[in-house]
Amino acid sequence: MKLQILCLALVLIAIEANAAKQGINTTIPALIVFGDSIMDTGNNNNLPTLLKCNFPPYGKDYPGGFATGRFSDGRVPSDLIAEKLGLAKTLPAYMNPYLKPEDLLKGVTFASGGTGYDPLTAKIMSVISVWDQLIYFKEYISKIKKHFGEEKAKEILEHSFFLVVSSSNDLAHTYLAQAHRYDRTSYANFLADSAVHFVRELHKLGARKIGVFSAVPVGCVPLQRTVFGGFFTRRCNQPLNNMAKQFNARLSPALDSLDKELDGVILYINVYDTLFDMIQYPKKYGFEVADKGCCGKGLLTISYLWFTLSKMAERGGERGAERGGDRGNFGRGFGGGRGGRDRGPRGRGRRGGRASEEAKWVPVTKLGRLVLDNKIMRLEEIYLHSLPVKEYQIIDLLVGPSLKDEVMKIMPVQKQTRAGQRTRFKAFVVVGDGNGHVGLGVKCSKEVATAIRGAIILAKLSVVPVRRGYWGNKIGKPHTVPCKVTGKCGSVTVRMVPAPRGAGIVAARVPKKVLQFAGIDDVFTSSRGSTKTLGNFVKATFDCLQKTYGFLTPEFWKETRFSKSPYQEYTDFLATKAVPAAKVITEGEDQA
């Protein structure tokens, strides 16, 4: 972390040079910072997240020698930049509960360690997303207006310097959870477009002097070197660095064009080249080591992880020494694992264990056979007779590409065992086509990507029809719920009432997203109970939508009374023996 701080401090010279070239007033009243752990000065201390640094040895070089929540042993770049601009030696965190109104005048940081441009990044670690940081910025401006007047707020907006630093966590961690949706290039482009959109939104709020940091060579950080660069060689993760370069290549010209389009100054600050050169040639800059972190063992620079592993290693080493063994110091960790002596880690092959998924789907249920052979063409035929869906490929075939998914929340779940705390991740995912079909899936797993993928599959298996109706005249397409419905989960109760066309979805953020996926355009909602518990909130909303088909109206009587179920109609077809999956794959290989 010291290496990054020094490098970013050196970049201040480039910031001042670019600012002078663009005609920025040298008198800057405040510094406003958005971003991740590089700029976080303690916002995560007040969040229900595991990603905190308010414990030793963090802060050992900070004035007073105590941990403040900064992801460093001393000050972070936001502090150094504020001092360089002549504002203060340290920049306060906006979430600090002891912050006084006068402390806001020199600027604050909204940065939250572990966040990124991708909203999923913040959900994984339960931190503040950059988009929520904009909401807190609006609150900040309101406080300035309240305590110091409109003129002071206008001065801060027009003359303050705004810094945006993000993308590292997106590239290093979240991409693995989004690999089913993006390739590396498209994900880097998505992040760059999100960064440009963020700058636009910040400009709309009044900011006129904005600096955006490029992505850093995140593939060279100690964690990436240890996990992906080989435990002994510890090379940089080149594919990850290539993603960072792709992000920078798209971001730089986009910000240049945005600078010409909007009034004010928008700067692209390239820190990649300087930092990469410093990592490759540390002695040129007066350093001896550039591939180890300043905390823990220097190999895994994740605050909670290395802190926990260090304690476990110490306890295990003591017990192992008593028994004369080496199990406590992870002696088997990187050698053979469970495979025994001189055996490498147990992998899943070059394609990551997805070879079976790439093969042609061979249904194992009667319903799957009927869908694959086009005997059933619509989901409503399945719902009409309440046939259970046990294969998610059925939903993929009948709904197709119109089915979208959204990760509502990812939360860490801990369990105390004899070996210590076991941390897993629970994912809440909603799927829907926006046309009367919606599903909810919840999955818990050791890895975020596995939890998301499992939740998507469970959400597809739970897809239910949403009956839509009219409010008033039956003109056009159905747009609202057909009647008043109430859903409940735990202490949360959600009630939906039909609304006139054009009223929109009057709901909180969580049920609004679910209703959009279900294809509801207009509805009034109310909720009671502990709605802060997102899991119960989204489940209660889903329960509401399930109950829209909880009654039978006269137009369905004739259809349900005389129609046969697909199992009865296609009895002869189902009586024929299905071709086993193994035989189909074998025949395909023989033909090849």
Query: Which residues are part of the catalytic machinery?
Result: 37
* C-alpha count within 13 angstroms, C-beta hemisphere, residue 511: 33
> Cis omega (within 30 of 0) on the bond before 29?
no
Comparing CA positions, the residue from 467, 480, 482, 397 lying closest to residue 436 is 467
Interatomic CA distance for residues 165 and 83, integer angstroms: 18
Q: What are phi and psi of 69, to 5 degrees?
A: 100, 0
Strands, E assignment, 179-248: 209-213
Alpha-carbon span 269 to 11, nearest angstrom:
8
Neighbouring-strand partners of residue 493: 488, 528
Name the CA radius of gyration of the chain, rounded: 28
- Smallest Cα–Cα separation from 130: which of 81, 54, 198, 222? 198
Query: Is cis: bond before 57, omega within 30 of 0?
Result: yes
Q: Do 544 and 486 contact (CB within 8 A), yes or no?
A: yes
Could you tell me the two tokens for 312?
């476990």
Place of tokens 């002596």: 341
Q: Name the token pair of 128.
A: 């503040």
Strands 437-445 and 485-489: unpaired
- Sequential DSSP letters for 249-283: HHHHHHHHHHHHHSSSEEEEE--HHHHHHHHH-GG
Cα separation of 257 and 192, whole Å?
14
CB 414 within 8 A of CB 498: no
Q: Which two tokens stand for residue 302?
A: 């994740």
Q: What are 467's two structure tokens?
A: 């009956």
Going by C-beta distance under 8 Å and a sequence separation of 6 or more, which residues neighbour residue 149?
A: none
Give the Cα separation of 3 and 47 in Å (integer): 27
**Contact, 428 vs 442, CB < 8 A?**
yes
Q: Which two tokens stand for residue 169?
A: 């966590």
Of 225, 166, 215, 199, residue with least CA distance to 39: 166
**Unique residue bearing structure tokens 């990507």:** 449
